[in-house]
Chain A
Amino acid sequence: MSSPFEDVLASLIRHRGVLGCLVVGEADGLVVDANVQVGVPEHVVAALAAALYRRARLASQAAGLGQVTFLQLEAEGGHICAVGREGLVIVTLAEPRAHIGLIRGAMLASVEALT
């Protein structure tokens, strides 16, 4: 069964170094749709990344900084990026070699699909 996010996820996964991308419910942390490489624990990544995004959004609001536009976590083994809208979050998991600038642009363009 296809979802309305299939095209968005298909365009993100094509970027070099992207290991997976997911649309996740921000409140429940459950996967709405995902396109991930074999071995990526999508349910675990989804739950934790949604919680991270939610905390960042609340922190940004509390600090008077307004809405979170783009969240990037840089780790030893790669990146987790997230953008959100209307209670949904697009999460992208990428290798260190990935071009984060291109991924960021694609994710910000894709956020329009989260309606």
Chain B
Amino acid sequence: MRTHVAEPWVEVPLQHFVDDARVLFALLLHPNGQVLGQFGFTRAVDVMAACALAAGIHASAGQLGRELDGKPFRELYHSGRERQIFIGEVRTPRDGLIFLTAFGDDSSLGLVRVFFAALSTRIAAAVPARPAGAPLQSESLEQDLAHSLAVLFGKVPPAGDAGGSSSTRS
């Protein structure tokens, strides 16, 4: 199975992580909930729900960390009966991003943390500079979220793709 991405620069780092860490699901998103890339999900509604939850958990954990420790928690881990979840913040020169992954017995928290560090380095190196004159607009947030999901699942081509081909691979 391959990763699916809404922005092409996400693909190589995310695919490396998935191949190395042997996780079940992976999701890279902007803190506003806008998805950048995913692995393992088959339905847009699941990606949308996971993005909303991950963004909420990250924001809550950040504030909780500030209250308790004076600085936000940057990594969270939860162990379920069969699956485990890891949420971490990817720091880039442009924005902080949120990364969520779920894994089972084929991987481990130690492996996920090791390859998450490698993913963060690759993402930080690959992230493009924000286009001049294109700040995030709160009024277009919902449209941006919907557009990212549509690109991710191949319903529309990514922005700037004149040839109409999608960066999503399957």
Seen from chain A, the residues whose Cβ lies within 8 Å of a Cβ on chain B are 24-25, 27-30, 43-44, 46-48, 50-51, 54
Contacts and interface: CB of A to CB of B under 8 A. Distances in A.
Interface residues of B, number: 7
A48 B109 contact: no
Interface of B: 107-111, 113-114
A43 B111 contact: no
27 contacts: A25-B110, A27-B108, A28-B108, A28-B109, A28-B110, A29-B108, A29-B109, A29-B110, A29-B111, A30-B110, A43-B110, A43-B113, A43-B114, A44-B114, A46-B110, A47-B108, A47-B110, A47-B111, A47-B113, A48-B114, A50-B108, A50-B110, A51-B107, A51-B108, A51-B110, A51-B111, A54-B108
Contacts of A50: 108, 110
The binding surface of chain B is classed by DSSP as helix
Contacts of B108: 27-29, 47, 50-51, 54
